[in-house]
Amino acid sequence: MVINVNVYLFTILILCMFVNLGISLYGILSRPSLIKKIIALTIFSDTANTFAIIIGYRSWPNPYHPLRPPVLTVIEPSRGDIEYFTLVAVDPLPQALVLTAIVIGLAIILFLVFLTLQMYRLCGTTDVRKIAKLRRW
Amino acid sequence: MIKVYGMSSPIEPTQSVGILVPLLGIAAFTIPLFSLKIRRKEFYDYYTLLFSLIAFTLTLYNTWLVWSRGKPILYAYGGWIPPLGISYEVDMFSAILGLLSALVMLLITIYSIWYTRGMDGYEWYYTLLLGLETGLLGCIYTGDVFNLFVMIEVLAISAYGLVAFYRSRIQAVEAAIKYAFIGAAATTLYFLAVVFIYASFGSLNIADIAIKSREVYRAFTNIFSDGVFGNIFVASATSIALALWAFTFKAAVFPNHFWLPDAHPEAPTPVSAALSGLVVNIGAYATIRFLYTLFGVDSILTTFGYRDFVMWVLLILGIVSGVIGALLMIIQDDVKRLLAYSTISHMGLIFMGIAIGFSNIPEYIVNIGLTATLYHIINHSIGKALLFLAVGILIWASGTRSLSRMAGIGKLYPLVTVSIVVGFLQLMGFPICGGFFSKLLLYEAYVAAGMIIPALMVVVISAISVVAYIKVIYTIWIRPPIVAYERKSGIALALAIVLFMALMCIMLGLAAPIVIQWLTDSVVSSLSKEGVENYINAFLEFYREALKHLS
C-alpha cells in the first residue's frame, strides 16, 4: 500500500484548522472573560488567514521529486520557463487578501480592547456575567 | 500577455460610479484632521450635509444612467481589466438601493444637525456617520466579493463605533461589545467563504464567478482566471453556507437576531434610524446577490437540490423571525426597543420574499416575489427611519424612552403624532400607505406559487404586529398623561424632515401601480435569468473592449 505523504499531511493540516476554528468559536461564544474572548477572536481570524494562505499554493513539494524554486534565472525566459514558473509559483492574490484582512482585524481588535477597557472603567470587571447583573440594576 | 498595463483612457464615462465611494471615505476621514483646527459646529454640519448631498446627487445620476442605457454600468478601479482588479458594477437593483440609502442618509444628516446641537463629540459622530454611508454605498455598488467583505467591515466598524457613542453608559458599551464580537466572527466567516470561492473559481469578480458557476457560459471563461481547486460544487455549497451565516447576522434574521434589540436602541436616535432602516438591508441585498446573481437557478448550486434546500432554510428562518419579532414587540415598554423588534419582524418578511426562488416555481412568479421584496425594503426603510426620527423628538421632549411614562405626550406635538401614525400605518400595512401594497404583492406571489402556508404567515405576522403598533399609537396619543409635560419649542427642522418622510410614505402608497411597474421592470432587468445575462454581458463587453485597447 502506497501512502501519499503529501495528501496525508495536507488532510491533517486542514482538519487541524477546522478544529481550531471550532475551538476559537467556542471561546468567543462561551468564555465569560472579555479578554479571553478577544484572544479567541484573534485565533479565529488568524486561522481563517492561514487557510487563505494555504489556498495560494499551486504545487506541493514532493520528497521524491523536489521542485526547483520558482525563480526565473535567465534574462529572457522561454515560453517553457514561464509555464513552469506559473505552475509552481505561489499565487500572490490570497496573500494580498490576507494582508487586507489582517489590517481590518487590527482595527476591530483595537476597538474591542478599547471597549473592554471602558467597560472595566465603568463596571470594575471584565466578566460578562457580572456585567449582565450590573446592567439589571 | 500576463503583464497588464494600466489603461490610458476610460472605455465608458462612468466615473460617477467610481468616484462616489472613495470620495465619501476621504471626506469621512479628513474630519478628524479638521477637528485639530476648527471648533465651530456649523462647519461640521454643513460639511457632512454637503457630502451627503453629493452622494445623493451621484446616486440619482447613476440610477438615471443605468435606466437610460438599459444595461448595467461598470467602473474598473486603477484601469485594471475587471477580473484582475476591483470593479464596481451597478445594475438597476443596486442603483435603486443605492438611491434609497443616499436619500435616507441625507434626511438623517439634516436631522442630525438638530440632534447634535449642544452635544459633545459631534466631529466623531459625523466622521462615523459618513463612514457608515461609505460602507453602505460600497456594499451596494461593488462588483467584487472581496471588496464586499472590505465594505461590510467599513460599515460594521462605523456601526460599532456609533452604537458605543454614549460611552459612559454601561448599556451602550455592553451592546457594542456584543455586536462587535459576533459581528467580527461573522465577517471572518464571510472571509472564509470568499477564500473558498477564490479557491474553486479562481476569481473574485461577481460577474466572472456568475459566468463560471453556469455551465452554459463555460466557453466564455477568460485567460486570467482558470484555476479550479478541488470540487467546485462542494466549495460553492460551503461558501454559501458560511456567507449566509454572515448575511443573516447583518440582517438580524432569527438565530442571529439577538444583538439587534440591544444595539439599535442604544445608538443616538438618527443612527438608530440608519441602522434599522438601512444597515440591515445590506444583509438582504448580499443574500439576493449571492442566491440570484452568483448562484442563480441555472447554476451549479442546484445540484442535488442544494439551492432549494437553502431557500427552504431561508423561508423557515424568515417566518420564525417574523413571528418572534412581532410577538416580542408586544411586551416591550422601551419604545426604541419596540421599534428594533419590529425591524426583526420586517426582515423576516423580506427574507420570506427572497426565499421564493425555488427551482420548480415559474420565473415570472419569482420576479413578483423579488419585486415585493424590493418594494418592502423601500417601504420598511422609509417607514422605520421615519418612526425612529419622530419618536426621537418625543424622547427629547419627555426625557424618557419608557412608553408608559410618555403617555399622552403626543397631544402636545400634533404634527409629530400624525407622522408617527403614518409611519405605523406604513409598517402595519394600511391600504393608503406603501406597506400595504408590498405585503399584498408578497402574499399574491406565494398564492400564485401555490404555497398557502407562507402566504398565510404574511397575514399572521402583520396581524400580530398590529397589536403592538396600536398600543404605541394609543399610549402616545390617547392615554391620559402620567407626567405633566410642557410644550418645548425649537423642533422646526426635525419636524420638517419627519413630515417629509410621512409624505413619502403616503406617496409610495398612492403611486403604488407606477412604483410596482417600475420596480418589476428593474427586477426583471437585473435579477431574472435575462437580467443576470445583462449583468454578465456588460462585464464581457467591458473585458473585450479593454483587451482591444491593450493590443
d(CA B334, nearest CA chain A) in Å: 14
Terminal Cα distance for chain A, rounded: 68
Q: What is the CA radius of gyration of chain A?
A: 22
What pLDDT does A3 receive?
66
Put simply, the answer to whether B168 touches A107 (Cβ < 8 Å) is no
Within 8 A of B180 by CB-CB distance, chain A residues are 108, 111-112, 115
Q: Which residue has the cell 398565510?
A: B456
Put simply, the answer to whether A111 touches B180 (Cβ < 8 Å) is yes
The Cα–Cα gap between A76 and B84 comes to 25
Within 8 A of B185 by CB-CB distance, chain A residues are 25, 28, 41, 44
Put simply, the answer to whether B195 touches A116 (Cβ < 8 Å) is no
> What is the DSSP annotation of A88-103?
HSPPHHHHHHHHHHHH
Fold that domain A5-56+91-136 belongs to in CATH = Helix Hairpins (1.10.287)
Tell me which residue of B83, B85, B88 sits closest to B224, measured CA to CA.
B83
Q: Which residue has the cell 445623493?
A: B56
Q: Is B160 on the interface with A (CB under 8 A)?
A: yes
The Cα–Cα gap between B389 and B342 comes to 15
> What is the DSSP annotation of B269-315?
HHHHHHIIIIIHHHHHHHHHIIIIIIS-TTSGGGGGGHHHHHHHHHH
Chain A interface, best mutation among B29, B173, B201, by max A CB count within 10 A: B173
Q: Is A44 on the interface with B (CB under 8 A)?
A: yes
Q: Is B153 on the interface with A (CB under 8 A)?
A: yes
> What is the DSSP annotation of B90-103?
E-HHHHHHHHHHHH
Residues of chain A short of pLDDT 70, as ranges, are 1-4, 6, 58-69, 135-137
CA-to-CA separations, B89 to B72, B403, B488, B541, in angstroms, rounded: 7, 45, 48, 13
* ipTM, interface predicted TM-score of the complex: 0.89
Beta bridge partners of B74: B89
| pTM for this model (two decimals) | 0.90
Within 8 A of A118 by CB-CB distance, chain B residues are 164, 167, 173
Beta bridge partners of B88: B75, B142
Kindly give, in sequence order, each residue whose CB lies less than 8 Å from that of residue B447, ignoring residues fewer than 6 positions away: B455
DSSP state of A67: P
Put simply, the answer to whether A135 touches B170 (Cβ < 8 Å) is yes
A95-121 b/e with 16+ CB inside 10 Å = b?
A: eebbebbeebbeebbebbeebbebbee
Written as tens digits, the pLDDT of chain B (551 aa) is: 333 444 444 445 677 888 889 999 999 989 888 888 888 888 888 999 999 999 999 999 999 988 888 888 888 888 788 788 888 989 999 999 999 999 999 999 999 988 888 788 888 899 999 999 999 999 999 989 999 999 999 999 999 999 989 888 888 888 899 899 999 999 999 999 998 888 877 788 888 888 888 765 454 444 444 444 456 777 788 889 999 999 999 888 888 888 888 888 888 999 999 999 899 999 999 999 999 988 888 877 777 788 889 999 999 999 999 999 999 988 888 888 899 999 999 999 999 999 988 888 888 888 999 999 999 999 999 999 999 999 998 888 888 888 888 887 878 888 888 899 999 988 888 888 888 888 999 998 999 888 888 888 888 998 898 888 888 888 888 887 777 777 777 788 888 888 999 998 888 888 888 988 998 888 888 888 888 888 888 888 888 887 887 76
B484 sits in the region (left: phi over 0; alpha: psi -120 to 50; else beta) called: beta
CA-to-CA separations, B132 to B147, B394, B415, B435, in angstroms, rounded: 16, 25, 30, 26
Q: Is A53 on the interface with B (CB under 8 A)?
A: no
Q: Where are the domains of chain A?
A: 5-56+91-136
Task: Please report the sign of the dihedral spanned by the C-alpha atoms of residue B81, residue B87, residue B92, residue B93.
Answer: positive
SS (H, E, C) B55-79: HHHHHHHHHHHHHHHCCCEEEEHHH
What pLDDT does A62 receive?
57
Angle between helix B92-115 and B363-398 (nearest 10): 0
d(CA B88, nearest CA chain A) in Å: 18
What pLDDT does B98 receive?
93
H/E element, B89? strand B87-90
Q: Is A85 on the interface with B (CB under 8 A)?
A: no
In B202-231, where does DSSP find H-type helix?
206-212
3-class secondary structure, B360: coil
Put simply, the answer to whether B173 touches A115 (Cβ < 8 Å) is yes
Q: Where are the domains of chain B?
A: 15-550
Within 8 A of B168 by CB-CB distance, chain A residues are 122
Q: CB count, 10 Å around CB of B150? A: 22
Q: Is B233 on the interface with A (CB under 8 A)?
A: no
The Cα–Cα gap between B374 and B151 comes to 21
The Cα–Cα gap between B395 and B468 comes to 18
Judge whether B546 and B4 are in contact, CB under 8 Å. Answer: no
